[in-house]
């Protein structure tokens, strides 16, 4: 089982930006296809929800409607790292953010659930003040 480690969380004011990183213990050079990487978030008393995912093979991406146009998911294959660039943050974006991976294609543009991902990081906290 690969290990995932998130970083980059913090406290910002509404309208600010943060970039989350997720370092994967597996070398991306060993991956050619059938690998899905995602970001989820969870607030207290709420279910964990998917924010975005990217298919490593096709490079297709998916974004939740609530973050579309503000967040960007990407990878740096030389650094074995998944990113989530978050711009124009809103108080509702405040949550614990988790990265997750799965050895399967992401599928075609529909949201995925936490049960689709067997590997998870420990999370990084994002707080957005109004």
Task: State residue 23's pLDDT score.
Answer: 97
Series of mean pLDDT values for 10-residue runs along the chain (130 residues): 95 98 90 90 95 95 97 95 98 98 90 95 97
3-state SS, the chain, equals CCCEEEECCEEEECCCCEEEEEEECCCHHHCCCCCEEEEEEECCCCCCEEEEEEECCCCCEEECCCCCCCEEEEEECCCCEEEEEECCCCHHHCEEEEEEEECCCCCCCCCCCHHHCCEECCCEEEEEEC
Task: State residue 126's pLDDT score.
Answer: 98
Over the stretch 51-77, which tens digit does the pLDDT of each residue have?
999 999 999 999 999 999 999 999 999
Task: State residue 109's pLDDT score.
Answer: 79
Task: State residue 7's pLDDT score.
Answer: 98
């Amino acid at each position: 089982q690969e290990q995932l480690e998130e970083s980059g969380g913090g406290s910002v004011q509404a309208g600010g930006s943060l970039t989350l990183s997720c370092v994967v213990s597996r070398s991306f050079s060993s991956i050619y296809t059938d690998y899905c990487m995602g970001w989820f978030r969870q607030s207290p008393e709420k279910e964990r929800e998917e924010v975005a995912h990217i298919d490593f093979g096709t490079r297709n991406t998916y974004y939740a409607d609530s973050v579309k146009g503000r967040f960007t998911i990407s990878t740096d294959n030389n650094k074995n790292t998944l990113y989530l660039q978050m711009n124009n943050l809103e108080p509702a974006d405040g949550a614990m953010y988790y990265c997750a991976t799965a050895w399967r294609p992401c599928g075609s543009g529909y949201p995925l659930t936490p049960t689709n991902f067997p590997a998870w990081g420990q999370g990084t906290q994002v707080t957005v003040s109004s």
